[in-house]
Amino acid sequence: MKLKYLAIAAILCVSMANDTLAQVINGQIKTNTGEPLVGASIVEMDTQNGEVTDVNGNFSLEVSKLPVQLIASFIGFKSDTLTVSSAAFLSVTLAEETEVIGEVVIESSSTFIDPISPIMSQVLTEKELEKAACCNLSESFETNASVDVSFTDAVSGGKVIRVLGLDGRYVQLNRENLPNVRGLISRYGLGFISGTWIQSIDVGKGTGSVTTGYESMSGHINLEFKKPKAPESLYVNSYVNNFGRTELNVNKTFDISDAWSGAILFHSDYFGSEIDRNDDGFMDLPKSRQLNLLNRYGYSKGRWIAQLGIHLMTDEKSGGQLGFDFGDDLQTSNVYGFRNDTKRVELFGKTFLSYPDKPYKGLGFIYSLSHVQIDGGFGRNIYEGEESTFYGNLIHQSIIGNSFHQYKAGTSIMVDDFDEQYQDSVFQRREIVPGAYFEYAYVPGLRFSLVAGARLDHHNLYGNFFLPRLHLKYDFSDRWILRGSAGRGFRTPNVITEGYQFLISSRRLNILNDPLPEVSWNMGGSLLYNGEAAKKTFNIVADYYYTTFTNQLIFDRDNASDQLRVYNLEGQSYAHSFQLEVDRKLSEKLKIKSAYKYYDVRSTINGVLREVPGVAKHRFFTNVSYATRFEKWKLDGTVQWFSRMRMPDTGDKAEVFQRPATSTSFALVNMQVSRGFRKGNIYIGVENLFDFRQENPIIDPEDPFGSNFDASLVWGPVAGRVIYAGFRYKIKAKK
């Protein structure tokens, strides 16, 4: 009997010991102004056990026992060694480095998958963005496999992104959790964001959190801009390419008082050359000029943190046949022209109330008020559009009992006022969409987390929309991590701006029925092998997502080459997306990242389920990075291969104006070399190294006002090789 009690006691002791030894420390790393540090490291002293912070500066680290010594670090900030004796929430504040030092070895990763979030999310840091020229947001994804970028047509120079094989209009693109590229600027808005303004990009696949809105259908991208308390007090970037495009960027931060600080972000670019390398009489790229200014202020004192800013932008584009210039009148010009003059003003801000004695609790309000005016058109077709938008989001976060049970609850409102005119048709509507949401997170430890949320939005024109969303993460071990998600999203389409590129042709717009909101379900997941945890030199991630639409707006170019037929979905529409990516560190100096992607994207077009035009079913991607010691010299190269794509049917045209049913496969190679100095670097690079160009991208360019003209059948580069050079100059902020 004594042996029996001794055995029970021994088992209890072992169990208690195990509970005592296995501890999970949750916390946040931030600056002394309260800004979260993205990608900061928290490491157990004298071990390889560590984590990096997510986009909110949060981390979750499992340690073998308590007390334990942890080291928190981030580039440009003083490292801090902490002795932790309990599993209470740990709030870490890092001070910025004030000493002038020589050369520093930078060990941070340029990209990383958020280690804590159950949402599949890859963060691109400023270091990753500097691997390419990154003039604007559309060029910020060149070294990333998850986002595809392509031209829309052979005249406007517009670019669109694709995530999970679907058009970028199904991606919710936010700036610091405020809706940004949407509405009337959804087609050209990527070019309205300077790459030098971006601190990091969070690329998420699948449905997003209910807290950020209802428009996340295939993915979500959140941009973090440079803050008033940025590490540099002055940042200057200049760029020029062989076509004659020039660009100047200046970021300046300044202190106003102990509580207030400010920043001015300035961008300008100009391109006035007429480039026609294929001799079809049309400019391969439109002329353009842009002025872009963002002025923001930050406040931090006591329990209050706030930001306030204003964004002003004017952008002019002028393209078409040679000789068409800025300010020319489309209707009186004797050549085919393209114009798109956009003016935008935005007032935005956020206010956050913290509870120092309850770091898990907070109350925040973010808001944006903007106005867009567009004057433009193509050929003899005039387009004018105005959009006024207000967005507000009030969010409260706290816990239920303990930190294992967390929640966010809030209410939001989106108001859009549209006034558009195309040819002799007027399109006016006012959308008012109030909504409420609740999101529950179960985080019992490092291995498992669950986020379940739902929101209910009421559209004044289309009624109620209930959007449930679920995200899961389970760590089988330090090496294997599984994520899964499912959810519903909706958006209201804008026929003219979203079909703009298809109308740069002789096609007549034919809207067959009133457009209804687009509604979709998305589900999928990812499996990550973390080689670093096993002291290997590579990581592998495989993901699969399925998106299906219950309603979608179809832009039909297949059944009448003289029309753009627009109608609501009648039948199936879906997208299968699979990606396998391997990130390997061959040495301290050499890293390689490779990926393969497979898309199967189909929609019911005029009663037939067909592949969506312009989507490459197979794509290979490889990025190689090499850096000498202290990153004095850096070399980055990217190779992308695209398989054949289905193109719209042109069989009803005369034979001379017909085009093949599929494109050709092709590859693009980009390279950049940079030389680092104490206060910046100089760089030179090339895009499309082997000068691949789509042959005859325009049908019947000799008669652009005739019935056969079409510049919308673009699947590859038009202008060809681009050689560029520039410099970056930085002065660190004094503290």
Residues 196, 182: contact at Cβ < 8 Å?
no
pLDDT for the residue 101:
31
Look up residue 55 and give its amino acid.
Answer: V
CB atoms under 10 Å from CB of 678, counted, come to: 10
Residue 369 forms beta bridges with which residues?
Answer: 347, 390
Q: Mind listing the pLDDT tens digit for each residue in 450-474?
A: 999 999 999 999 999 999 999 999 9
pTM: 0.86
Query: Token pair of 735, please?
Result: 């503290």
Among 647, 319, 327, 248, which residue's Cα sits nearest to residue 500? 319
pLDDT for the residue 1:
45
Query: Token pair of 435, please?
Result: 């909504």
- Top-confidence residue, 460 or 559: 460
Q: Mind listing the pLDDT tens digit for each residue in 217-229?
A: 999 999 999 999 8
Query: Token pair of 467, please?
Result: 């959007």
pLDDT for the residue 47:
63
Mean pLDDT of the chain: 90
Q: Tally helices (H) and strands (E) across the chain.
A: 3, 42
pLDDT for the residue 728:
95
Q: Mind listing the pLDDT tens digit for each residue in 305-347?
A: 999 999 999 999 999 999 999 999 999 999 999 999 999 999 9
Q: Which residue has the tokens 């076509």?
A: 243
Q: Mind listing the pLDDT tens digit for each residue in 16-69?
A: 334 434 577 888 888 877 778 876 778 877 665 777 787 678 888 877 778 887
Query: Token pair of 89, please?
Result: 């929430």
Q: Mind listing the pLDDT tens digit for each residue in 486-531?
A: 999 999 999 999 998 999 999 999 999 999 999 999 999 999 998 8
- The secondary structure of residue 359, as a DSSP letter, is T
Alpha helical stretches, state H, 98-192: 126-129
β-pairing, 198-205 with 553-556?
Answer: unpaired
Mean pLDDT of 402-425: 94
pLDDT for the residue 630:
83
Mean pLDDT of 539-564: 95
Angstrom distances, CA of residue 173 to CA of 169, 578, 631? 9, 22, 32
Mean pLDDT of 577-602: 95
Asked if residue 551 has pLDDT above 80, the reply is yes
- CA angle 691–693–694, rounded 5-degree value: 170
pLDDT for the residue 132:
85
pLDDT for the residue 43:
82
Residues 213, 456: contact at Cβ < 8 Å?
no
- Top-confidence residue, 587 or 22: 587
Asked if residue 678 has pLDDT above 70, the reply is yes
**15 sits in which H/E element:** helix 2-21
What does R_g of the chain's alpha carbons equal in angstroms? 26
CB atoms under 10 Å from CB of 19, counted, come to: 9
Q: Mind listing the pLDDT tens digit for each residue in 97-134?
A: 543 333 333 334 678 887 778 888 888 988 888 888 87
- The secondary structure of residue 495, as a DSSP letter, is H
pLDDT for the residue 224:
93
